[in-house]
Amino acid sequence: MKPLHYLTLVLVILALIIALVPQNTTRPYKLTAEQLLAEIRTGTQFVSPDEVADKIVQKDPSIQLIDVRNPREFDMFSLQGAINIPLQDILSENNFDILNQGTKMNIFYSNGSTEANEAWMLTRQLGYQNNYVLQGGLNYWMETILNPLKPESIISNDEIARYDFRKAASMALGGGDASSMAPASSPASATPKPGVVPVKKKKKASGGC
């Protein structure tokens, strides 16, 4: 695809996502559309299912999974340890301390990537850090982690290691018989995300009405 056509496609997708997100009536945006577009094109907001699975299996306390689907879908199925903040509630003052903090790595997810990306876009425009998106959402999670397909006979060592990891993670996370599971080790190709960025809290002004 030519660079001009790719940029046009990205702009169209960005416009559609912005049209679908709830209106921001609580906090002013800090990033311009151009700045947000530049971040979208890098794709650094995405976290692979392998990395998320590894953190869940290892009981990594540095992550917080955030399900942005509606409560009914969340009650039917959710990732281990996830909390539910529906997309329409992302801008609520009640969620400010969860979404704008320097302690945990928040990972948004939905069935696909669209709603989770919308949540990420809103928080990034507000200047929040430490928020990411599960690549491919639950649909891709089911395909790669809970139901991994065995590679074909002629494969590389990296592919073998990735499959072994996914199979072990699948058994640990409800996709197989956990009793026969060997400890899951991260695939060599996993790329760690930047560490959590501390967020300085502004002191509330004293006095006043």
Co-location of 63 and 128 in the same domain: yes
Of the pLDDT bands very low, low, confident and very high (cuts 50, 70, 90), residue 150 is confident
More confident residue, 14 or 184: 14
For residue 105, what is the domain's CATH number? 3.40.250.10
Interval 189-207: pLDDT, tens = 444 555 677 676 655 555 5
Helices (H), ranges, 21-156:
33-42, 49-57, 71-76, 96-99, 114-125, 137-141
Helices (H), ranges, 66-151:
71-76, 96-99, 114-125, 137-141
pLDDT of 12 reads 59
Distance in angstroms (rounded) separating the CA atoms of residues 34 and 189:
31
Q: 58 pLDDT exceeds 70?
A: yes
Of the pLDDT bands very low, low, confident and very high (cuts 50, 70, 90), residue 180 is very low
Is the CB of residue 59 less than 8 Å from the CB of residue 173?
Answer: no
Co-location of 134 and 147 in the same domain: no
Of the pLDDT bands very low, low, confident and very high (cuts 50, 70, 90), residue 21 is low
Backbone angles phi, psi at 47, to 5 degrees: -120, 130
Instruction: List the domain range (segments joined by +) for residue 122.
Output: 3-21+29-141
Q: How many domains does the chain have?
A: 2
201 within some domain: no
Co-location of 41 and 127 in the same domain: yes
pTM, entire model: 0.70
User: Which amino acid, residue 109?
Assistant: Y
193 within some domain: no
Co-location of 69 and 99 in the same domain: yes
Co-location of 66 and 92 in the same domain: yes
Q: What is the mean pLDDT of residues 127-144?
A: 93
Co-location of 75 and 121 in the same domain: yes
Distance in angstroms (rounded) separating the CA atoms of residues 137 and 142:
9
Q: 123 pLDDT exceeds 70?
A: yes
Co-location of 136 and 147 in the same domain: no
Q: 2 pLDDT exceeds 80?
A: no
Average pLDDT over all residues of the chain: 78
Distance in angstroms (rounded) separating the CA atoms of residues 150 and 97:
42
- Tell which of 112, 141, 170 closes a domain: 141
